Amino acid sequence: MKLMVTVKRVVDYNVKVRVKDDQSGIETANVKMSMNPFCEIAVEEAIRFKEKGVATEVVVVSIGPAQCQETLRTALALGADRAILVKTDEEIQPLAVAKLLQKIAEKESPNAIIMGKQSIDGDNNQSGQMLAALLDWPQGTFASEVSIADGKATVTREVDGGLETIALDLPAIVTTDLRLNEPRFASLPNIMKAKRKPLDVLSTEDLGVDVTPRVKTLKVAPPATRQAGVKVESVQELVDKLKNEAKVI
C-alpha cells in the first residue's frame, strides 16, 4: 500500500507575524519557517501505518519555492521514503494546489492521500475537499482517529455535535485534525539518512496546470492596537464607565 502525504512550508507557529510596509502580505524574509503543524500530524500518521505494516511506502509532496526541499527533507527524516517538490515561486491558491496534487496522484496511484486539514497561514481548509472532488474519491475530513484494513479506511472525525465515524472505500482522502496524534522529533541519524533519500523536482509546466491566482489580495493589515486598560476605585465607577463611556449597558 502506498500513502501520499502533502506538506506545506509556513512561518513557524511560534513566530509573531509582521505585515510588510507596503501591506502587500506578511514578512517572510529572515523569518523562521517550518512544516505546517497539521501536515506534521499527517506525516506522523502515515509513518505509523508504515511501522504497523499497513503501508509499504510513504511519498511526501510539497508545492512552493526551492526552500521547500528543507521541509521535505524533514519529512524524510521522520520516516517518509521519498519526496516530490512541485517548484514554483507563484502564489498557489487552494484550487491550483488541488489540481497539481490531482496530477501527481494520477501518476503515483496512491491507495490513500493524507493531508493536514488546513495550513496556519491561509487557514482556507479547502485543498483536501477540492482534491477529493477532482479525483472523485471519498473523503474523511477533520480526522481524530484513522484505521485502514481490508481495502477500507475507518475515520472518526470531529464535527460540531461531537464525533462521527465513517467508512471509506480506498483510494480515499483523509485530512487530519489536532487530536489524531502527537508528531515525533527527527533523530540526528535519520536527518543524515534523509539527505540520501530521493527527492524529485517538477514544475507546474511539467504537470500542465495553470496556477494563475483567481483571487487577488488588495491589502493586508494588522489588527488594531488594543488600548491600555484603566483601574477603577469602586464598583460604582466601573458601572459609570461601562454606561457612559463604553456604552455597553
- Domain residue spans in the chain? 2-244
Any idea which of 18-27, 44-53, 62-71, 130-139 has the lowest mean pLDDT? 18-27
- Classify residue 88 as exposed, middle or buried by CB count within 10 Å of its CB (0-12, 13-18, 19+): buried
The Cα–Cα gap between 33 and 31 comes to: 6
Could you say which architecture CATH assigns to the domain 2-244? 3-Layer(aba) Sandwich (3.40)
What confidence score (pLDDT) does residue 246 get?
82
What confidence score (pLDDT) does residue 201 get?
96
Find the length of the chain: 249
93-115 pLDDT tens trace: 999 999 999 999 999 999 999 99
- The answer to whether residue 54 scores a pLDDT higher than 90 is yes
181-218 pLDDT tens trace: 999 999 999 999 999 999 999 999 999 999 998 888 89
Bridge partner list, 195: none
The beta strands (E) that lie in the chain are given as 2-6, 9-11, 33-35, 57-64, 82-87, 112-116, 139-149, 152-159, 162-169, 172-176, 199-203
135-155 pLDDT tens trace: 999 999 999 999 999 899 999
Residue 53 pLDDT level (bands cut at 50, 70, 90): very high
- The answer to whether residue 228 scores a pLDDT higher than 90 is no
Report for 17-26, 35-44, 225-234: range of highest mean pLDDT: 35-44
The Cα–Cα gap between 17 and 13 comes to: 9
Pull the grid cell for residue 213.
491566482
What confidence score (pLDDT) does residue 116 get?
95
What confidence score (pLDDT) does residue 217 get?
87
- The answer to whether residue 249 scores a pLDDT higher than 90 is no
Between the two ends of the chain, the Cα-to-Cα distance in Å is 62
What average pLDDT score do residues 16-39 get? 90
Any idea which of 101-110, 163-172, 236-245 has the lowest mean pLDDT? 236-245
Peptide bond into 189 cis (omega under 30): no
Cα 66 to Cα 35, 72, 152, 210: the distances in Å are: 14, 11, 36, 19
Residue 230 pLDDT level (bands cut at 50, 70, 90): confident
